[in-house]
Amino acid sequence: MNKDILIKTVARLVSPPKGILAIDESLPTCNKRFENLGVPTTEEKRREYRELLITAPEIEKYISGYILFDETIKQSAKNGENFTSILRAKGIEIGIKVDQGTVDFLLHLGERITKGLDGLSERLQEYKNAGATFAKWRAIYTIGENIPSRDCMKENAVSLAKYAFMCQELDIVPIIEPEILMDGGHSIEECYKITAQNFDILFSKLQDLRVFIPGVILKTSMVIPGKEAKIRVSSEKIAEMTIKCLKEHASKDIGGIVFLSGGQSDKEATLNLNAMHQIPELSWPLTFSYGRAIQNEALQSWAQNPNDISGAQTFLVERAKANSLASVGEYKK
């Protein structure tokens, strides 16, 4: 493990005013989005769409890194140039999703654990050879009656810690992503309680496995009510409770923190991030790692008119710019 390399990679990824673009949707997820918009679910169509995302002009002004999927990191543009080469030429860091999705947690109804540790070291080496400098592993938690359980949090925390350690052994920065899902009608207070408990368990396990915390990026959901919650709250309240939870329960040594958009609308994700940066004395670099909240308009535009690549790319870059401004507290509605 070269701690200096890890720290420098983290710094490049969370350097203001940039954030990370997640284009690592699994095949089922990507195909489902295509189906909903009437786009053929073929490998070539997925390649075509990802070429649009990767070649967007001047996206590098706002985006520091792309998280790719296994299929995408091996693909090339129509002119034969590898996607990884295009990103490197733009000065964009190459990331890779390495978890292999979730499975039911045995004897725990309604809970999921993430798989993918088997053969991970070999896959990480392969991705490193392809140019990857960072990786991502996601765990998910549903708030419901008596869930998530401590057992589920511990199980996922151990996997996240083992993954992070394996990444750092190869000088790859691990993004750890514990996502509290927005599904359900839970209050913002309930979300706070679960997020805090989960952070306590997660950072304890990271320490137990001797993970180098300054060489880690935390990708977290915001402290936010469920989609079906009766009481809606302001961006200011979400920002206040999210920052409080992070300050009290996340390690002060963490290299950087990025937010996922989850089930938020494009605008909500931007406004909530912007509100975070109205709070003084943040303890760490704080930015975005959005997927849908940046891609949505571009995907819809491309689905309607596949020949208007530049039009779709304009939507993509505009959303990236809006979130770039929000990441330094300068976004205006």
Give catalytic residues, as residue numbers: 177, 219
Residue with tokens 């990507």: 30
- Using left for φ > 0, alpha for ψ between -120 and 50, and beta otherwise, residue 332 falls in beta
Which residue, among 301, 309, 6, has the nearest Cα to 171 in the 3D structure?
6
**What DSSP string runs through 92-108?**
PEEEEE----EEE-TT-
Contacts of residue 303, Cβ cutoff 8 Å, sequence gap at least 6: 34, 37, 38, 39
How far apart are the C-alpha atoms of 188 and 270, rounded to whole Å? 18
Which residue, among 250, 252, 226, 222, has the nearest Cα to 237 in the 3D structure?
222
Cis peptide before 28 (omega within 30 of 0): no
Which residue, among 253, 262, 281, 284, has the nearest Cα to 272 in the 3D structure?
262
Q: Decide if 35 contacts 41 (C-beta within 8 A).
A: yes
DSSP-derived secondary structure letter, 69: P
Q: How far is CA 292 from the centre of its chain?
A: 10
Half-sphere exposure of 195 (CA within 13 A, CB side): 31
